[in-house]
Structure 1
């Protein structure tokens, strides 16, 4: 396990990252959901480091990365990844992104395919409107002092009621991640999601792709995942019994599917 490090992106923002796993393994980059940090992957790390050198980073506006004021763009979030790979002298990597991370993954597949070996897009959308919903959320965040109500809204969208009622420790961990997210960082990321529309261009992705959806996801609907998989030539599609976080609610099936796809071995 290595310590948290930082690099400086082209616009001066400092982005936090860390490596886990042996240095001779293929590199897998993990990209987090909105309102979380790289800690969202903690539960699957023991499985992933058996096969990969895992590179996690905090999306700008989140975790230990800088949270510049103003609207972010999916182009800027994607270039953060490319610049991170450049700084670490990594030519090609596997990439797994969930939710906002999956939107960044789509950008990479469209705009920087030469940097991607295989692509996993989990619980994400090529377009997530309407714009006025995000404008309202951004306006609210400009005057917010207490993120508790915001955190509870995310928890309801991320987990089944049964998981919440069972007081699974992961729920508290994810609640804390939301509470620790700077409001202006969350607002900046909401702007990137608001302005994103890959419904036509996602078909340009030519990297081997696995699209994962949560059967009960009410944010990035299963239909959104199905549409992405249908648009990408040769893409595989997997629906798991969960809401928005299969890495928590369907952990074993999730890591088995990811490893099988990236390593090209079958899971019985």
Structure 2
């Protein structure tokens, strides 16, 4: 299996390639999920893009460091993966904390990014107190305590009724997430605030010319 081996952890990734003249597109998943969440998008877009998707540290098949980490660390994980694969520039699509990583890239690594698509995210996601309350709950009761609420937030009753296998898959992935990594990401979400920087994305010089 393809891994990027870093000093403190390993990142699992998958590459789906079309013709080499196609642009790159990176998918970055949400908290408590793995790269399989993008299967439908890959199926529909692989003919148009060379697609890279990866499991964030401690998610899916990626390992996690034992030390705390920051949004900078999550952004640099992806930059190291791009460097290792020789990807100079890419489109980016991210959901929730994945979207926060995309905003960080737009601010800190604009020369590596073409277009950014983000969903269910913000420069500041939620409030710090709520994330720290979730950290306390997970540390005391584990991720299983969050499964009922996660099911309700992620899946409408109508979807759950027609796609029970999909629902079961993603709740299993959620519960299998590294506890240390989940807590670490919650702390990232509690601390990260890009509101004063987000406007820089439109002001940074970009040398890329569309073909």
Q: Same fold (TM over 0.5)?
A: yes
Greater CA drift, 55-64 or 135-144: 135-144
Please list every run of 5 or more consecutive structure 1 residues that lacks an aligned counterpart in the other structure. 208-231, 233-262
Bigger RCO (CA 8 Å, 6+ sep): 2
1:119 is matched with 116
Shift in Å at residue 168 of structure 1? 4.1
CA distance in 2, matches of 1:144, 1:69: 19
TM-score by length of 2: 0.89
Shift in Å at residue 141 of structure 1? 2.1
CA distance in 2, matches of 1:185, 1:111: 23
Please list every run of 5 or more consecutive structure 2 residues that lacks an aligned counterpart in the other structure. 205-209
1:176 is matched with 172
CA distance in 2, matches of 1:54, 1:138: 33
Greater CA drift, 153-162 or 41-50: 153-162
* Correspondence for 1:83 among 80, 84, 87: 80
Contact 1:35 1:177 in 2 (8 A): yes
1:190 aligns with 2:173: no
* Correspondence for 2:195 among 170, 187, 199: 199
Q: Deviations over 1:188-207 (max 9, x none)?
A: 11111111111121111139
Within-5 A mapping of 1:159-174: 159-174=155-170
CA distance in 1, matches of 2:2, 2:138: 29
Greater CA drift, 165-174 or 18-27: 165-174
Helix, strand or coil: the match of 1:143? helix
TM-score by length of 1: 0.71
Greater CA drift, 30-39 or 179-188: 179-188
**Is the alpha carbon distance of 1:70 and 1:136 closer, same or farther for their aligned partners in structure 2, counting shifts above 3 Å?**
farther
Contact 1:28 1:54 in 2 (8 A): yes
2:207 is matched with none
1:220 is matched with none
CA distance in 2, matches of 1:8, 1:50: 29
Within-5 A mapping of 1:25-44: 25-44=22-41
RMSD in angstroms over aligned alpha carbons? 2.1
Contact 2:58 2:182 in 1 (8 A): yes
1:22 aligns with 2:18: yes
1:130 is matched with 127
Helix, strand or coil: the match of 2:202? coil
Contact 2:138 2:145 in 1 (8 A): no
* Correspondence for 1:96 among 93, 97, 111: 93
CA distance in 2, matches of 1:23, 1:137: 44
**Is the alpha carbon distance of 1:185 and 1:57 closer, same or farther for their aligned partners in structure 2, counting shifts above 3 Å?**
same
